[in-house]
C-alpha cells in the first residue's frame, strides 16, 4: 500500500488528522517485556483516541534479522491480544522508496557522497575520544569537488551546522540539543541499502504516524531524525520516549534474567491479562488503582502520564496479579489457558474433573497456571508414591478407625458434591468424637499421597468417588502393613 504511491497517500491523509501510532521492532530476537510494554502503550494511545495502530517490522539489518524473530514478535503480539489495524509492514519491501528519497536529498544537495574509509573513520573516532571530545564525522567529504576513483561511497545526510533542535517530548518534556553536537550521519551504505535513522523517518512520514512512542534509547536519535524530516519537507510527528525496564535486581534486563521473551511468560504460566496489567502499571498509574482491564486501560491511559524513570521488573507483583486474574476471570476463560499447560505437561485430562472446577478450587492456591496444572495432576492420575513424611505422620494406627468409617460412608455416598462430602466428614468426626484434623489429614494423605491439598471436601470432590475409595483402601493397607511390621 505504501510502496507504490506515497505522494497520493500523503495527500489523501492530509485532511484527516487521526491519531496514528506504530510499534516498530527489529526482528533480531523475541518480543521482550520492554518491547511489549512499548507496544502496549502504542496500542492504548491509538485505541483511546479511536486512532490507528500500525505494526512495522524494521528488518533492514539483513545480517541479524531472522524469520523466526519475526514470527516470535507476531506470536507475542497475538498472545497479548495487541491487534493492529495496519501491517505488518516490512522495511525490506520498501527499499525502492528509500532509494528514491535518498536520491532526492542528493539532488537537492541535502545529502552527499562520502568516500572515507571505515579505517579512517575509526582512527578519527579514537583520536577524538583521546582529545576528550565527542566523536563525530569531521565532514571531509562535505564539499568534495571530484569523486575519488574506484571507491563505492556511502551517502551522508547534510546536517545543519548551527542552531538547536527543540522538541516537546510527551513524556520527557522539552528537549533541546545543539546542531553542533550532531554530525552528518550515513543514510545509505555503499550497496545502497538504507540505515535506520533514515528508514524510520521515511516510514513514519509515509505512514502518517502522528505519535512516535518508543524506548528512550532513541532520545539521542530524535534530533537528527527531526532534521531529516525537515530536509524531506515533512513536519515531524510528536515524540514520546518511554523509559526502559530493568530486571528484578535493578540491572539492565538481559537473558540472564531468564524470562525476558513474552512467550516465556506464557510458558511459565502467566495469563496475558496479568502481564498486560503488570506492564501498564510499570511507569504509569491512575491514583491508587492497581487492577485494570484492557477496556479500562484504553479509557484511562494517556501517554503524557507516563513516568520518566526506568522501573524494575518485579515478579512478585506479577505473581499477585496473575493470581488475581486466575481468581476473578471467568473460570472458562482461565481454563482455556490452563489446558495449554496440561498439554505441555502431558497430563491427560479426559478422565477427571472439568478444568473449570479445577480453576475454581485451585486458583487461590497457586501463582501460575503451570503450578495449577502440576498440582492438579493427582486428580487425573492419582499419585505414584506416598510422601514419606506425610504418611509417617498421618497414616498411623489411630487413623485406621476414621478411614474405615470414611470408607464405609463414602461407598454409600451418591451425592458427590463438596457440601454433601463435607457433611460426611463432619459426621465421621462427630461419630468418633474427634476433631476435624484427625479425620481430614489422614484422608488427605490417603487421597493425594501428600499432606497438602485443597480443603478436604473439595479434594474429595475433584478426586471423584472411585479414585477416592481406592485411595482410602490403599492407605488402610499401608497402615495394616505398618502395624504388622511393629
Cα 352 from Cα 401, distance rounded (Å) = 28
Among 50, 67, 132, 150, contact with RNA (rule: CB under 7 A)? 132
Q: Does 58 bind RNA (CB under 7 A)?
A: yes
Which CB sits closer to RNA, 51 or 286?
286
Question: Which residue stretch of 6-14, 29-37, 74-82, 135-143 sits at the interface with RNA (rule: CB under 7 A)?
Answer: 135-143
Number of shown-chain residues binding RNA (CB under 7 A): 83
Q: Does 218 bind RNA (CB under 7 A)?
A: yes
Q: From the list 207, 282, 294, 395, which residue makes contact with RNA (rule: CB under 7 A)?
A: 282
Minimal distance, residue 389 CB to RNA, in Å: 11
Contact 236, 167 (CB under 8 A): yes
Footprint of RNA on residues 368-387 (CB under 7 A)? none
Name the H helices within 49-195.
67-80, 95-107, 118-130
Which member of 102, 441, 467, 476 binds RNA (CB under 7 A)?
Answer: 441
Q: Smallest distance from the beta carbon of 82 to RNA, in angstroms?
A: 18
CA atoms within 13 A on the CB side of 473: 9
Strand partners, 238: 211
427 makes contact with RNA (CB under 7 A): no
- Whichever of 10 and 177 has its CB closer to RNA, that residue is 177
Of 5-13, 278-286, 330-338, 400-408, the segment contacting RNA by CB under 7 A is: 278-286
| Contact set for RNA, span 227-266 (CB under 7 A) | 244, 246, 250-252
Cα distances (Å, whole numbers) of residue 424 to 36, 225, 430, 441: 51, 74, 10, 15
From the list 81-89, 176-184, 261-269, 463-471, the region that binds RNA by CB under 7 A is 176-184
List the one residue from 9, 51, 99, 136 that touches RNA (CB under 7 A): 136
Nearer to RNA, 60 or 273 (CB): 60
- By CB under 7 A, residue 464 contacts RNA: no
**In the numeric block, which cell numbers belong to residue 49?**
483516541
Question: Nearer to RNA by C-beta: 117 or 146?
Answer: 117
Please give the torsion angle defined by the CA atoms of residues 226, 224, 58 and 113, in that order, rounded to the nearest 10 degrees. Answer: 120
Q: How far is the CB of 157 from RNA (least distance, A)?
A: 11
CA-nearest of 477, 447, 476, 449 to 462 is: 447
Among 38, 45, 69, 195, binds RNA (CB under 7 A): 195
- Tell me which of 176, 328, 343, 354 binds RNA, using CB under 7 A: 176
* Among candidate residues 243, 395, 261, the one with its CA nearest the CA of residue 311: 243
**Can you state the percent helix, strand and coil of the chain, rounding each to 5?**
50, 10, 35
In the complex with RNA, which residue's Cβ is closer, 50 or 173? 173
Active-site residue among 134, 152, 255, 392?
Answer: 255
Determine if 468 is a binding residue for RNA (CB under 7 A).
Answer: no
Q: How far is the CB of 116 from RNA (least distance, A)?
A: 7
- Of 72, 440, 462, 476, the one binding RNA by CB under 7 A: 440
- Interface region with RNA, contact rule CB under 7 A, candidates 10-18, 213-221, 226-234, 408-416: 213-221
Residue 273 binds RNA (CB under 7 A): no
Q: Counting contacts by CB under 7 A, is residue 406 touching RNA?
A: no
Stated as kind and residue range, the H or E segment containing 242 is strand 238-242
Distance (Å, whole) CA 471 – CA 453: 14
Single out the segment in contact with RNA by CB under 7 A; choices: 47-55, 215-223, 230-238, 339-347.
215-223
Site for RNA in 310-369 (CB under 7 A): 310-312, 314, 316-317, 319-320, 323, 327, 364-366
Query: Residues 435, 466, 485, 486: which binds RNA (CB under 7 A)?
Result: 435
CB within 8 Å of 57: residues ≥ 6 apart: 24, 25, 26, 27, 70, 73, 87, 88, 89, 90, 91
Place of cell 567529504: 141
| By the rule CB under 7 A, 150 interacts with RNA | no
| Catalytic residue flag (residue 255) | yes
| Assigned C-alpha cell, 130 | 583521546
Tell me the backbone φ, ψ of residue 57, rounded to 5 degrees: -95, 120
3-state secondary structure 296-347: HHHHHCCHHHCCCCCEECCHHHHHHHHHHHHHHCCHHHHHHHHHHHHHHCCC
Nearer Cβ to RNA (107/288):
288
**What CA–CA distance (Å, rounded) separates 72 from 61?**
17
Part of the chain binding RNA (CB under 7 A), chosen from 352-360, 379-387, 396-404, 438-446: 438-446
User: What is the rounded CA–CA span in Å between residue 289 and residue 286?
Assistant: 6
The rounded radius of gyration (Å) of the Cα atoms in the chain is 32
Least distance in angstroms from the C-beta of 334 to RNA: 15
Residues in contact with 434: Cβ distance below 8 Å, sequence separation at least 6, in sequence order: 402
DSSP 73: H
Binder of RNA out of 11, 129, 144, 430 (CB under 7 A): 129
Minimum Å distance from CB 241 to RNA?
Answer: 8
Q: Is 176 helix (H, G, I), strand (E, B) or coil?
A: strand
- Catalytic positions are 255
Amino acid at each position: 500500500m505504501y510502496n507504490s504511491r506515497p505522494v497520493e497517500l500523503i495527500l489523501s491523509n492530509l485532511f484527516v488528522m487521526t491519531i496514528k501510532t506504530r510499534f516498530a521492532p527489529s526482528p533480531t530476537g523475541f518480543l521482550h517485556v520492554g518491547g511489549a510494554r512499548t507496544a502496549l502503550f502504542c496500542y492504548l494511545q491509538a485505541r483511546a483516541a479511536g486512532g490507528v495502530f500500525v505494526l512495522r517490522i524494521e528488518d533492514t539489518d539483513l545480517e541479524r534479522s531472522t524469520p523466526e524473530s519475526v514470527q516470535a514478535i507476531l506470536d507475542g503480539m497475538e498472545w497479548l491480544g495487541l491487534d493492529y489495524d495496519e501491517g505488518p509492514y516490512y522495511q525490506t519491501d520498501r527499499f525502492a522508496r528509500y532509494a528514491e528519497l535518498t536520491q532526492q536529498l542528493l539532488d537537492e544537495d541535502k545529502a552527499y557522497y562520502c568516500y572515507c574509509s571505515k579505517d579512517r573513520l575509526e582512527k578519527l573516532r579514537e583520536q577524538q575520544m583521546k582529545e576528550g571530545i565527542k566523536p563525530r564525522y569531521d565532514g571531509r567529504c562535505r564539499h568534495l569537488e571530484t569523486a575519488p576513483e574506484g571507491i563505492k561511497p556511502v551517502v551522508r545526510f547534510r546536517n545543519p551546522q548551527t542552531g538547536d533542535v527543540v522538541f516537546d517530548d510527551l513524556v520527557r518534556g522539552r528537549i533541546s540539543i545543539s546542531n553542533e553536537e550532531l554530525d552528518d550521519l550515513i543514510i545509505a551504505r555503499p550497496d545502497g541499502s538504507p540505515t535506520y535513522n533514515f528508514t524510520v523517518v521515511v516510514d513514519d512520514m509515509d505512514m502518517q504516524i502522528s505519535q512516535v512512542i518508543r524506548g528512550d534509547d532513541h532520545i539521542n536519535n530524535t534530533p537528527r531524525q527531526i532534521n531529516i524530516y525537515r530536509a524531506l519537507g515533512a513536519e515531524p510527528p510528536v515524540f514520546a520516549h518511554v523509559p526502559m525496564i530493568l530486571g528484578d535486581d535493578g540491572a539492565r534486563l538481559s537473558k540472564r534474567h531468564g524470562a525476558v521473551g513474552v512467550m516465556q511468560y506464557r510458558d511459565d504460566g502467566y495469563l496475558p491479562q496479568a502481564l498486560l496489567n503488570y506492564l501498564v502499571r510499570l511507569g504509569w498509574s491512575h491514583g491508587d488503582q492497581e487492577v485494570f482491564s484492557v477496556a479500562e486501560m484504553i479509557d484511562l491511559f494517556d501517554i503524557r502520564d507516563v513516568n520518566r524513570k526506568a522501573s524494575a521488573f518485579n515478579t512478585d507483583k506479577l505473581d499477585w496479579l496473575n493470581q488475581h486474574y486466575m481468581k476473578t476471570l471467568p473460570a472458562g476463560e482461565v481454563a482455556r489457558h490452563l489446558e495449554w499447560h496440561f498439554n505441555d505437561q502431558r497430563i491427560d485430562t479426559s478422565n477427571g474433573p472439568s478444568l473449570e472446577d479445577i480453576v475454581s478450587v485451585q486458583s487461590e492456591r497457586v501463582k501460575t497456571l503451570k503450578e495449577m496444572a502440576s498440582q492438579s495432576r493427582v486428580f487425573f492420575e492419582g499419585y505414584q508414591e506416598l510422601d514419606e513424611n506425610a504418611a509417617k505422620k498421618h497414616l498411623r494406627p489411630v487413623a485406621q478407625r476414621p478411614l474405615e468409617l470414611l470408607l464405609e460412608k463414602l461407598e454409600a455416598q451418591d451425592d458427590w458434591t463438596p457440601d454433601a462430602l463435607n457433611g460426611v466428614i463432619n459426621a465421621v468426626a462427630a461419630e468418633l468424637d474427634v476433631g476435624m484434623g484427625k479425620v481430614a489429614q489422614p484422608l488427605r494423605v490417603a487421597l493425594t499421597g501428600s499432606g497438602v491439598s485443597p480443603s478436604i471436601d473439595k479434594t474429595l470432590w475433584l478426586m471423584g468417588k472411585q479414585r477416592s475409595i481406592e485411595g482410602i483402601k490403599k492407605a488402610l493397607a499401608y497402615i495394616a502393613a505398618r502395624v504388622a511390621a511393629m
